[in-house]
Structure 1
Amino acid sequence: MKMTFRWYGEGNDTVTLEQIKQIPGVEGLVWALHHLQAGEVWSEEEVMKVKEQADQYGFHLDVVESINVHEDIKLGLPTREKYIENYKKSIENVAKVGAKVICYNFMPVFDWTRTDLFKEMEDGSTALYYDNEKVQSMDPQQLIELTTKDDSLTMPGWEPERLKHIESLLESYRSVSEEDLWNHLTFFLQEILPVAEANGIKMAIHPDDPPWSVFGLPRIMTSEQSIERLLSISDSPSNGVTLCSGSLGANPKNDIAKMIRRFHERIPFAHIRNVKIYENGSFIETSHRTEDGSVDIADVVLAYHETGFTGYARPDHGRHIWNEQCRPGYGLYDRALGIMHLWGLWDAYEHVKQGRES
């Protein structure tokens, strides 16, 4: 398991590279060019700037998260051809700085949905929270205002340029079914996978967050069956999954450890986090400990260990603790604690394995 840490870039993150360097076992940065809009080409010059910053601290840039997919591709519009060609150029350019995995998603309009970015928990910390009942009754514009009210840092998936056309965007999707979305994803992958494979890059789709329809929009990456269908589109080694235990774990029917054991050869990148699910379908993000949430993190890590996982992993969203002022879900302290918990589990399993072998 290769440990990484998501970093939003110089001037766009409250966490510094110097701080990340002090977290044991972190080898690389999970990065992106967040100032670019979906559909733009990531130039060689731009990606080289990030490489120069990472090189100062000895970090690799093996994992990109995300080169966002333009809505015209998801909608299957004739203009998608131009944006797919741009995507191919971006693949080629990130390969020049050593990228091995590109995490992407195919979620219409909203990349992720929460109703409270700083919900207070019993211990005084705060965390990202999804109120299921509130989402059923709120207007999409209310959600946009809630999520983007702090414009000091970029919010991936909630870019102002895209969201200012929200009404027409939502209208465009009214005639798009889940089957249509699958067809558009298939077309996209058939176009880009040869380029990814030629450049030694694995495309790793991220599950929908949460794994069900929001505001009537189609969502297709929600379950074990979804992953099975995605992988059946192409047997290319570049067609893979970013297995996110938090996104899929918001649905208690999803057995994350089972998915890892079944699909481990097609998981180049793992997001490991925990969520606590309430009876009404709401959920809040917790510490990484199994006892604090509804996802069996101990079994998740065991599944990766048992299958000999050598891919990339990162702690996903953390709580906001010790009065840290940070991007929602992406502070330093709780994610660093999460890494140490994951390493603790991994090292314990490794110790047991070595004991058995000796």
Structure 2
Amino acid sequence: MKMTFRWYGKDDPVTLEKIRQIPGMTGVVTAIYDIPVGEVWPLERIMALKKTINDAGLEMEVIESVPVHEDIKLGLPTRDKYIENYKTNIRNLAQAGVKCICYNFMPVFDWTRSNLDYKLEDGSSALVYYKSDVDKMNPKSGELSLPGWDTSYGQGGLGHLLDQYKDFTEEDLWNNLQYFLKEIIAVAEEVRVKMAIHPDDPPWSIFGLPRIITTSDNLRRFLSLVDSPYNGLTHCSGSLGATGKNDIPAMIREFGKRIHFAHIRNVKRPEEGSFEEAAHLSKCGDLDMVEILRAYYESGFEGYIRPDHGRMIWGETGKPGYGLYDRALGATYINGIWETLEKLDK
């Protein structure tokens, strides 16, 4: 496996120089964040980003994310234009040596939480999702806005976009996802870039919007839509593990050959439908990190891993979920488990 770290560009307080000092770190996972969703990423911008990263002694082999325009998810007549732009982005990223692209197909909202700085018992703060709080929220009122969300909702704004999904079903979303995949995977095969869809976070419907990348059955269905080694998964233990209905090690063992990118984090579930993000250490949450990594190891995983969201610890401030210290601890913990598995296998 190759250890990587999420980096949000030159304005990220977690600098490349700091990331480079984490033991075992090979590269960063990043993107071009100031280009509107659906537009083409100029090759010169991509190459400049790659040079910055390479000059710091790190690789840029994974992009997270190339966002999918809402018109594609909705299946509007304009989707073909945005799909063509998406194909161009795949080709341009391949020219820069990118080998894996992470994306998601969540309608309207990306990852969703009810609190970004919930105080845990140990004094650290973390991202949490409490069902009772989310159920009271009305996204149309503007009371809920999270980092990472695309807020360029187009003509008519968020309310209009949500209205477009009013009678939209899971089957509609499946059909539009298949249409998208049939167009882009052929390009991915051509330029040898592995596409890796991220599961829905959380893995259930929110605000009446359908979500489909949620369970083993749905991952199985997704992979069958276009049966290609270039149509694969970003397997996120924290997203899929937010519900006790998902057996994370079993999923990894079943889908391991189609997992191109692994997000590793722990969650604690105070009740079904709610979760708190926890330290990576197994006993801090409800996920067994040793069993999760054992499943990757025994599956022969050779893809990319990154420690996912971390708590804010030791007085650090910054982008919620993406501070340096706790994620660096997570990377070291993951590397320690992996090295142990390798040694025991000899």
Asked if these proteins are the same fold (TM beyond 0.5), I'd say: yes
For 1:202 and 1:47, the matched residues in 2 are separated by 18
Deviation at 1:58, TM superposition (A): 2.0
Q: Partner of 1:147 in structure 2?
A: 145
- Structure 1 counterpart of 2:80: 81
Alignment partner of 2:153: what SS? Answer: helix
What secondary structure is seen at the aligned counterpart in 1 of 2:77?
coil
SS at match of 1:328: coil
Alignment of 1:88-237 (within 5 A): 88-141=87-140, 144-148=142-146, 155-156=147-148, 158-162=149-153, 165-237=157-229
SS of the residue 1:161 aligns to: coil
| Structure 1 segments unaligned to the other structure (5+ residues) | 149-154
- State percent identity of aligned pairs: 56
User: How many angstroms apart in 2 are the aligned matches of 1:25 and 1:122?
Assistant: 30
Cα offset for 1:281? 2.5
1:270–1:312 contact (8 Å) kept in structure 2: yes
- Cα distance in 1 for partners of 2:28, 2:274 equals 31
Between the aligned partners of 1:287 and 1:347, the Cα distance in structure 2 is 20
Aligned to 1:39: 38
SS of equivalent to 1:269: strand
- CA-based RMSD: 1.2
Moved over 6 A (4+): none
Task: For 1:315 and 1:299, locate their aligned partners in 2 and report how far apart those are by CA, in whole Å.
Answer: 16
Confirm or deny: 8 A CA contact 1:117 1:147 kept in the other structure. no
Deviation, 1:96, is 1.2
Which has the higher mean CA deviation after the structures are superposed, 183-192 or 27-36? 27-36
Residue 8 of structure 1 aligns with which residue? 8
Report how many aligned residue pairs link the two structures. Answer: 345
**TM-score, with normalisation over the residues of structure 2?**
0.98
Distance in 2 of aligned mates of 1:244 and 1:225: 16
CA distance in 2 between partners of 1:245 and 1:55 (Å)? 29
Aligned partner of 1:29 in structure 2 is 28
Which residue type is aligned with residue 68 of structure 2?
Answer: V
Q: Partners in 2 of 1:210 and 1:241 — Cα distance?
A: 16
* 1:206-227 alpha-carbon deviations (Å, 9 max, x no partner): 0000000000000000011111
Gaps of 5+ in 2: none
1:318 and 1:329 in contact (8 A); partners too = yes
Matching of residue 254 in structure 1 with residue 252 in structure 2: no
Give yes or no for contact 1:60–1:98 (8 Å, CA) kept in 2: no
- SS state at 2:165 partner: helix
8 Å CA contact 2:117, 2:125 repeated in 1: yes
Cα separation, 1, equivalents of 2:78 and 2:184? 16
Residue identity matched to 1:282: S
CA shift, 1:264, in A, is: 0.5
Alignment partner of 1:285 is 2:277: yes
Note the C-alpha offset of 1:146.
Answer: 4.3
What is the TM-score normalised by the length of structure 1?
A: 0.94
TM-fit CA distance, 1:280: 5.1
Q: Report whether the alignment pairs 1:300 with 2:292.
A: yes
Which residue number corresponds to residue 67 of structure 2? 68
Taking the aligned partners of 2:326 and 2:58, their CA distance within structure 1 comes to: 21
Q: Residue by residue, what CA displacement relative to the aligned partner does 1:211-267 show, whole Å, maximum 9, x if unpaired?
A: 000000000000111110011011211100000000000010100100110110000
